[in-house]
Amino acid sequence: MALLEVENLKIYYFTGAGAVKAVDDISFSVDKDETLGLIGESGCGKTTAVFAIMRFAAPPGRIVGGKIIFEGRDILTMSEEEVRLLRGQGVAMVFQAAQNALNPVMTVGDQITEVINQHEKVTKEEAWERARKQLELVGIGGDRAKGYPHEFSGGMKQRVGIAIATACNPRLLILDEPVTGLDVIVQRQLLNLVNDLREKLRLPIILITHDLSVVAETCSKVAVMYAGKIVEQADAVSLYKNPAHPYSKLLIEAYPSIKGEKGKLISIPGAPPGLLNPPVGCYFWPRCPSAMDICQEAEPPVQTKDGRLVACHLYR
């Protein structure tokens, strides 16, 4: 039984113009020793899907179907209170680097002790000590605990976010675009930190990003999302060496490699479909170089090929 099993998750946005199928029937799982990378273009639904694990659905979005089974229990059927207790302690999230995920009028130390005090019975001194230790853990000196968020750089704010998220020893950690918007050197430092923590704390991680290199650095398993659907799931090595789905192939080929041979830079022409009235058949066929007649008519079912999952008519 995997730590997290997402089955047939559907999340729709109900706007004045109709229902937008932001996440349309996706399934994946994460085991105790895995790191799952969820990759895709902006707007493909990866963030929406993962937010649902914490049962966050910003209106007008609503989770309309599926199951999210964490440690054997379906999160979608829990009570509000049970979900709240799970957050920060069972599952924890670190938000996108560029956003202001830290309260500007609270000290960094207070924001860490806040989550500790919420879930555990400790004295003020114990909580503060632990907050300082968390800051040391992520590479920031413990004496900076009395500082305010605006005194920290982007990369350091991300570290603080990680310090907060790991404060109560969660069983699953979610990182939403952890290095987007940071310069490459800071990116490297942060990814090293993530890998370190993963080993030290034996922490399963779900990592959302649009950046292939980030996934390559940190993830054992990758799921590729397109227009609200998962088109391919495989272990990281197989995906990079041998992408099966045409979209995955294009993604990997579109990414320039500094070390590799100098080839042509390919970009994927066209744009993702509007999800208000999605096209019939495979969502990707308008941009797919291997499109066949059947692709316009029927949605490709998910099938297993060489130990991975692909949704493509090429592999019938």
Partner 1 sequence: MPRLISVLRSTRKSLKLLLTHRMGVVGVVIFVILAIIVIFGPLMRTVDPIRTGLPENILVPPSAKFWFGTDDLGRDIWSQAILGARIALLVGFLAAIATVAVGTLIGLISGYFGGKIDEVLMRIVDFFMMLPYLPLMIVLAAVLGPSIWNVILVVSITYWPFTARVIRSQVLSLKERAFVESSKSVGASDSLLIFGEIMPNVVPLMFAEAVLMVTWAIYAEAVLAFLGLGDPMTISWGMMLNFAMGSGVMTMAPWWVIPPIVFICATILAFTFLGTAVSDILKPGYREARGL
Partner 2 sequence: MGLARFAIRKVSAAMLTIFVIICVNFIIFRIVPGDPVRMMFRDPRVGAEKIQEMYRKFGLSGSLGEQFGAYLRELFLRGDLGFSFARRAPVLEVIVERIPQTLMLILTALIIAVILGTMLGALAGWRTGTKFDSIIITVSLAFYSIPTFIMGIIMLVIFGLMLGLFPMSGMSTIGADLTGWAHVKDVLWHMFLPVGAIVVWYIGEYIIVTRNSMQDVLDQDYIISARAKGIKESAILRRHALRNAILPVVTITGVNVAFAVGGVIEAETVFNWPGVGRLLYDSVMGRDYPVLQGLFLIFAVALVVANLVVDLIYGYIDPRIKVGGGQ
Cβ 74 vs Cβ 4: under 8 Å: no
Q: What is the Rg, in whole angstroms, of the alpha carbon atoms belonging to the chain?
A: 20
Based on the shown chain and the rule CB under 8 A, indicate whether residue 17 belongs to the binding site for partner 1.
yes
Count of residues near partner 1 by CB under 8 A: 4
Q: Which listed residue (1, 8, 11, 16) binds partner 1 by CB under 8 A? A: 16
Site for partner 2 in 287-306 (CB under 8 A): none
Q: Which residue carries 């995997």 as its tokens?
A: 2
Tell me how far apart the alpha carbons of residues 138 and 156 are, in angstroms, rounded to a whole number: 9
Residue 105 interacts with which of partner 2, partner 1, none, CB < 5 to 8 Å by class: partner 2
106 binds, among partner 1, partner 2, none (CB under 5 to 8 A by kind): partner 2
Task: CB nearer to partner 2: give 23 or 92.
Answer: 92
In the list 8, 15, 77, 290, the residue contacting partner 1 (rule: CB under 8 A) is 15
Give the x-and-dash track for 35-54 against partner 2 (CB under 8 A).
Answer: -------------------x
Could you give the residue ranges of the DSSP H alpha helices within the chain? 46-51, 80-86, 108-119, 124-137, 154-165, 184-201, 212-218, 236-241, 246-254, 293-297
Give me the least distance between CB of 195 and partner 2, in Å please: 22
User: Structure tokens of 124?
Assistant: 């003020």
Q: Which does 17 bind (CB under 5 to 8 A by kind): partner 1, partner 2, none?
A: partner 1
Q: Which of 3, 50, 52, 102 binds partner 2 (CB under 8 A)?
A: 102
Question: Looking at beta carbons only, is 13 or 70 nearer to partner 1?
Answer: 13
Residue with tokens 């059927």: 77
Of residues 128, 196, 186, 121, the one with CA closest to residue 158: 186
Q: Which is nearer to partner 1, 16 or 260 (CB)?
A: 16
In terms of Cβ atoms closer than 10 Å to its own Cβ (0-12, 13-18, 19+), residue 154 is: middle
Q: Pick the binder of partner 2 from 32, 73, 106, 257 (CB under 8 A).
A: 106
Q: What is the dihedral of CA 91, 92, 97, 102, to 10 degrees?
A: 150
Judged by CB under 8 A, does residue 180 bind partner 2? no
Residue 312 tokens, joined? 């493509």
Q: Token pair for residue 288?
A: 């797919």
Angle between helices 154-165 and 124-137 (to 10 degrees): 130
Secondary structure element (H or E) that encloses residue 35, with its range: strand 35-39
Stretch that binds partner 2, among 114-122, 124-132, 217-225, 226-234 (CB under 8 A): 114-122
Nearest CB to partner 1, comparing residues 59 and 289: 59
**C-alpha distance from residue 274 to each of 22, 44, 69, 173, 259 (Å):** 10, 10, 30, 31, 36
Choose, by CB under 8 A, the member of 26, 38, 69, 92 that binds partner 2. Answer: 92
Residue 13 vs 128, nearer CB to partner 1: 13
Partner interacting with residue 296 (select from partner 2, partner 1, none; CB below 5-8 Å by kind): none
Q: Are 32 and 60 in contact (CB under 8 A)?
A: no
Q: Pick one of 148, 240, 255, 315: the residue that binds partner 2 (CB under 8 A).
A: 148
> Binds 34, which of partner 2, partner 1, none (CB < 5 to 8 A, cut-off by type)?
none
Contacts with partner 2 in 264-283 (CB under 8 A)?
none
Q: Which does 16 bind (CB under 5 to 8 A by kind): partner 2, partner 1, none?
A: partner 1
Residues that bind partner 1 (CB under 8 A): 15-18
